[in-house]
Amino acid sequence: MNRHSIDMCSGPLWNKILIFALPLMASSLLQLLFNAADVIVVGQFAGKEALAAVGSNTALINLMINLFMGLSVGANVVIARELGACRNDNVTRGVHTSMALAFLSGVGLAAAGVVSVRQLLIWTSSPTDVIDLAALYLRIYFLGMPATMAYNFGAAVLRAGGDTQRPLYFLSAAGVINLTLNLVFVIRFDMSVAGVGWATVISQYVSAGLILRCLFREEGPLRLELKRLRLEPQVVRQILQVGLPAGFQGILFSLSNVVIQSSLNAFDDAVLVAGSSASANIEGFVYVSMNAFYQAALTFTGQNYGAGQCKRVDRVLFWCMGYVVVTGLVLGNLAYLFGRPLAGFYAPGEEEVITQAVIRLSLISCPYFLCGMMDVMVGMLRGLGYSVIPMVVSLLGVCGLRLIWVACIFPLNPIPATLYFSYPVSWVITVAFHGLFYLLVRRRAFAKVQGDGPSYLKTEGIHPSAVPAEQK
């Protein structure tokens, strides 16, 4: 192990989970801050049409890349499991297959996006007065997809070994470059949305280059060599088994949120929509903070399950659940308590908008820890290799329930608070079902790895790497 890695299969878990999760949390928060800076720069110096062109693309971009981000989750689980089992040859195959998938999916997304961008905007009802600017921005943005995929898959490889610090450094460097180029291109050269687009693309290639350089120089099974890049069918199948359901789940979540947003839009109240948007942006900072513990549950479970450390898998659940509840309760309630000044950043001087934002924060941000619990349970199940189950449960418990809520409950009391209340209700139900399924599959999953070697490896907490080959 190098100095950036974490030994997940021995020693205390409480501190190692924090060491793993805190850089991830910082990375996500930095990304949100840099994205906010993009919006501020284009809004302040390029006009409201440019701002609308950039902002109207967010949902479409997320929808298109969610599937491929799910594949990076699959890569993380497969590599972490093989690392835990000390099967270094399989780790190497997983690394090279994952990066080959990254390059192919990035090039494919770029080609498809550049060719079909205008039609996609028409399908999503992009405002006609900004569709040309939106198409220009989106076409440039898609040129950065190979870099986006390379960074995310590369970061997934490093996370599988417990390294979350170097991706943070790379993202920070790219974010500073992005912000600097935004100011130069938009203010100095008056490039409007094209300037924001090129600044984003250049920074994406910087972060991808840094992470690839890191993998090229890595020692051990995580080392990347161009001549070994290939798609190995068995590894691809393992990645797809975890990654495809994860990607589809992300898409389904996006679609369910679109339904809720459409119901809010139906009030035809700009103040309400603006307040909800401000609140959603504030909630994003709470969500990404909790999501770091989902990533920790995913990776620590994968490694310890691969090593046959079943008791440690249960302890991973205990610690990750505890951390995510504390994080969600503290940050979610702080967001509500300071909701008025926070919402004021997004709508300065607009008291009615701020009031609407605080109403939403009270119903979604305060119980947001429930969403974190749901994600941790999903991470545990995926770490054990079960990805279809959480997708189906989330489909029914989150997406399905919200659709039913909009169709049946909302008409009984058609106010915004009724819509917002569907979020905590869906989280409670989904957490309960995820917990039930974890208990059902836990014994079966543990039995598979406990039969792989001497029982004392599992009962005494001995890592397989510490056992002489002839005893394995």
pLDDT of residue 454: 37
Looking at residue 185, what DSSP letter applies? I
Classify the C-alpha dihedral 247-248-252-254 as positive or negative.
positive
Which pLDDT belongs to residue 326? 97
> Between 258 and 115, whose confidence is greater?
115
**Which residues touch 270 (CB under 8 Å, ≥6 apart)?**
none
Question: Is residue 461 over pLDDT 50?
Answer: no
Q: What is the pTM of this model?
A: 0.82
209-222, pLDDT tens digit by residue?
999 999 999 888 89
DSSP string, 13-61: SHHHHHHHHHHHHHHHHHHHHHHHHHHHHHHHHS-HHHHHHHHTTHHHH
The C-alpha atoms of residue 297 and residue 300 are separated, in whole angstroms, by 5
**Mean pLDDT score across all residues of the chain:** 84
Q: What is the pLDDT of residues 286-329, one digit of tens each?
A: 998 999 999 999 999 988 988 888 889 999 999 999 999 999 99
Q: Where are the domains of the chain?
A: 9-231, 242-455
Instruction: Kindly give the interhelix angle for 88-123 and 131-142, rounded to the nearest 10 degrees.
Output: 170
Amino acid at 100: A
What is the SS3 string spanning 74-94? HHHHHHHHHHHCCCHHHHHHH
The single residue listed with the structure tokens 């990645």 is: 239
Q: Please, are residues 363 and 424 in contact by the beta-carbon 8 Å criterion?
A: yes
